[in-house]
Structure 1
Amino acid sequence: MIKTVMPRLTLLAFTLVLTACATELRSVRLGRPVEPEVIPGKVFVPSKSTANVGDVMLTAGEYSKEATGLRLEAFRLKESSITRVEHKVKTLEFSIPAGDYRLRNRTNEGSYYSAPAPFSGLNGTKRGYGGLFVPSGTSEATEFYWSWTPDVTNVFQAKLTSPISGSIGESIKYLKDRESSGPRATLTYAGVAGGQIRFVYKEFTKDGFARPAFTQEVSLDYKPGGLYAYKDAQFTVEKADSTHISFMVHRPL
């Protein structure tokens, strides 16, 4: 009887050890990447315009053929939370930040959204780089994923301690930093007098203030229908007088 019980106790102990070493996480490869929608810049098209004396005719940087932003789907969390996962004999604990989680990859099962900031590790856990997994047809994250280094496609994935509800919308990432609060340069119509058509060119600081050393008055011979060029700008003046100007812009300032 003792001989029969001892092997069973040994097997039971071995099973308990294996259970203690079990892990709740798995290694996965993220699904197909999702490309964001490109928001185009304001493309220049030659056009007719009018301006009164003292009005700005042209503004530098007003037109751009480059994209100004990227529109991405986002999973929004209003509140941060904490999640834990058992790995072998260790518990990993992360702080899940609030914010916009931008769509990164998709699979047939659901979507992977990238966190707005790294996951802070708690109680001895290292910082992790990752996001949330949301099953198809829901607005509730059931799992999270991470790696110990940023920008990789092979990651760890595990169930959240509790599912996290959010809302799915869109997030726009701007490609250009809006450094100035005003235009960098302008060309203003200053009227016609003595057979001369006059303009005022001004450059501005990053704070939108005029730079006195870069303000210049320009006087050119006035010819109705004439083609004028100044700096990068090129335009035809159809008609100008002491009150207003009608012109066709061929190339922006």
Structure 2
Amino acid sequence: MDLSTLFSLDGKVALITGASRGIGLSIAEFFAAAGAKVVLSSRKQEALDKEANRLNSKGYEATGIACNVGNVDELSELVKKTVEIYGQLDILVNNAGTNPVFGPIHETSLEAFDKIMDVNVKAAFALCNLCFPHLRKSSSGSVINISSIGGISPEPGLGVYSISKAALISLTKVFAKEWGDSKIRVNAICPGLIKTKFSEPLWDNDKIMDYMLKQLAIKRVGTSEEIASLALFLASPASSYSTGAIMTADGGFTI
């Protein structure tokens, strides 16, 4: 076995949603460093262009394509543009997510419920299906869904978000089982408390942090790079026999 190529993504094209910052951006940078051509997607083209230019200045190959994943029509354009630019698609990372509410589930509106499910579940489902014709042409198609430890055990104040992430775990397993014959692997990562802008209301709250740290075996907040390294494993030949896996990176919170 050639260990020098075990984590290589040379010749691969990766599409990453929610990639203008945080976990998605770290994944894009790790993939690019491993040799992949990366498409960064999020809602704002200006932010994407800034990060794509930064990656290209390092000698990587990156393109930003704006897309609101909550709009199904924009998803088809995202996939179409990706294939038009690079001619193929080998890796999909469903990282975009939303959580507009924090509090008791009985106080969550139907509008908030719909928005959370549309972005966190429906978009991943739709994007997987749109990418399928291209992924099955790849010699090593890989889908990585970014779920959450809330999808394993509901988190206080994050009821509907936790429901959506549990659904994403189930979606991962269904696609993994059905797409195995097409040589497409589908896995999920469940991050714990990671220091990103998205999770700032949690790690910036002393009361919540005190509670979380007491539950952790590794008593600190995680980094987006620690999620990106796990994503690289799942995208690369190193994980060629892994599909349907639900992998935690949570400092031991779910032990």
Q: Which has the higher helix share?
A: 2
Fold shared, TM-score > 0.5 on shorter chain: no
Given the two structures, how large is their TM-score scaled by the length of structure 1?
0.20
Q: TM-score, normalising length from structure 2?
A: 0.20
Highest CA radius of gyration, 1 or 2? 1
Higher strand share: 1
